[in-house]
Structure 1
Amino acid sequence: MQGPQARVAVVIPAFNEEETVGGVVAAARTLTPEVVVASDGSSDGTARAAREAGARVVELTENAGKGPALKAALEATDAEYVVMLDADLVGLTREHLERLLAPVVAGELDMAIGVFEGGSFASDWGNKLTPHLSGQRACRRDWLLGVPHLGEERWPEPPITHHLKTTGARWDYVELGQVRQVLKETKRGFWRGARARTKMYADLLTYRRRRKRGERGDS
């Protein structure tokens, strides 16, 4: 897939994902040696685990959010195409990455968005309810860097979705069979995980309202 005209990097924003980030990096490196992990102010061994797995690591000093971490990872490479991955995936293979990337490199899509299928009930269910919030994507790097407010929002998926719609970009969903995410409730304990999930969805679902308010200059 990667000829001289198709340089690809995998970019992985990560916050306290030392248990899984190494496996994600290892899978990514079956596609390309250029894997960049942005550790978003992690307080655990995320950066170490990513380096040991072969990634280049950018370390943010504070937990600024997935959006700033994603932008930092994008700025650490000049590859033509990027595959964006979450750091808490399980079951990822080269075949999944090639399936996600192929329609973009072929010029058929501006962005491919990965959705889970058959990984686990909880992971599949959440992903299918809100597929537009998936963190698994492939596109041209310059397109992604052109998304307004990408590095300002804690979660980058809403501004990416808005940019897809307003620019008339060609995009579609790609099934990623047998891939799942480790749920926040599993990683952090039920109540802490549930609070983190609630806050995440509150941020995600209020994006447009907050941006409109900001454009008007409302307090």
Structure 2
Amino acid sequence: MLAPPPPASALAVLIPAFNEAETVGTVVRVALELTPQVIVVSDGSTDGTAHSAREAGAQVVDLPQNAGKGAALLAAVQAATAETVVLLDADLTGLTLAHLQRLVAPVLSGDLDMSIGVFEGGGFVTDWGNKLTPHLSGQRACRRAWLLGVPDLGAERWPEPAITQHLKATGARWAYVNLPQVAQVVKEKKRGFWRGAQARTKMYAALLTYRARRRK
């Protein structure tokens, strides 16, 4: 006999966001189908991100200055009260309740300590990026207490390498979970080609040099 699902209060969805007014509301509305505890941290956004998130029904933490995704994620974790958290990027397209259930199920069942979502069939650019560096995905589910134990979580502009290193250090059980037809709005489309390409280069430079910087 299948175990009953956990109460919605046992789950929280955390969404760090910087200037994602056009997409964050859609992501929030899907997340609210999973749980009423949806927390968006507007990381010093200068557009209507915070307003869009509130209008969609999220609890919003509005940081006064842009501090990076790590600081925004830490603020979201600290604001949450649920035992299990789902991490989502604010610029997702094609997301459904079924995707969120698929992502969180192995953590809720106790089979995994963390699941990491990777895109499948959502679009060439985002599929390719996820397949090349799946460990850098922002779509995850895990226990809140475990995430709070990640060293440097709030200090890194991009926290995924710190999370990956903590997975290895703690011997956590983790696996990739395919998210069919989900994609992200690429930076080049949001900011224009050259500014977007520059932002992408800086992001990958920070992500891929994490170990070297932390050894200094």
- Quickly name the TM-score band, shorter chain normalised: over 0.9
Report the secondary structure of 1:64's partner residue. coil
Deviations 1:147-177 (A, max 9, x none): 0010000001000000001111000000000
Unpaired runs of 5+ residues, structure 2, are none
Shift of 1:78: 1.1
SS at match of 2:82: coil
Q: How many Å separate the matches in 2 of 1:163 and 1:3? A: 26
Q: Which amino acid aligns with 1:146?
A: G
> What is the rounded CA distance, in whole Å, between the counterparts of 1:113 and 1:13 in structure 2?
16
Q: Secondary structure of 1:30's match?
A: helix
Instruction: Report the equivalent of 1:210.
Output: 213
CA distance in 2, matches of 1:77, 1:139: 13
8 Å Cα contact 2:8-2:35 kept in structure 1: no
In the superposition, the TM-score normalised over structure 2's length comes to 0.97
Tell whether 2:3 aligns with 1:13.
Answer: no
Aligned pair partner of 2:198 in 189, 195, 199: 195
Q: Which segments of 5 or more consecutive residues in structure 1 lack a partner in the other structure?
A: 214-219
Q: Among 49, 54, 63, which residue is 1:51 paired with?
A: 54
Counterpart pick for 1:162 among 165, 177, 185: 165
Q: Report the AA paired with residue 175 of structure 1.
A: N
Instruction: Assess if the C-alpha contact under 8 Å between 1:83 and 1:136 holds in 2.
Output: yes
Detail structure 1 runs of 4+ shifted over 3 Å in the superposition: none
Q: Which amino acid aligns with 1:79?
A: A
Q: Residue 78 in 1 paired to residue 71 in 2?
A: no
Residue equivalent to 2:138: 135
Q: State the TM-score, normalized to the length of structure 1.
A: 0.96
CA separation in 2, counterparts of 1:2 and 1:21? 27
Amino acid across the alignment from 1:50 = A
What corresponds to 2:43 in structure 1? 40
* Distance of aligned partners of 1:32 and 1:120 in 2 relative to their CA distance in 1, 3 Å threshold: same
SS in 1 for 2:177: strand
Structure 2 counterpart of 1:114: 117
Deviation at 1:77, TM superposition (A): 1.1
2:108 aligns with: 105
Amino acid at match of 1:172: A
Q: Which amino acid in the other structure matches residue 117 of structure 1?
A: E
In the alignment, the residues of structure 1 paired with residue 7 and residue 46 of structure 2 have an alpha-carbon distance, to the nearest angstrom, of 38
Distance 2:22 2:125 in 1: 19
Q: Percent identity?
A: 71
Deviations 1:152-208 (A, max 9, x none): 000010000000011110000000000000000000000000000000011001101
User: In structure 1, what is the Cα distance between the partners aligned to 2:56 and 2:132?
Assistant: 32
Give SS of 2:138's match. Answer: coil
Q: CA RMSD in A?
A: 1.1
Matches of 1:45 and 1:22 in 2, distance apart?
Answer: 10
Q: Aligned equivalents of 2:44 and 2:25: distance in 1?
A: 17
Number of matched pairs: 213
- How far 1:3 sits from its partner (Å)? 2.5
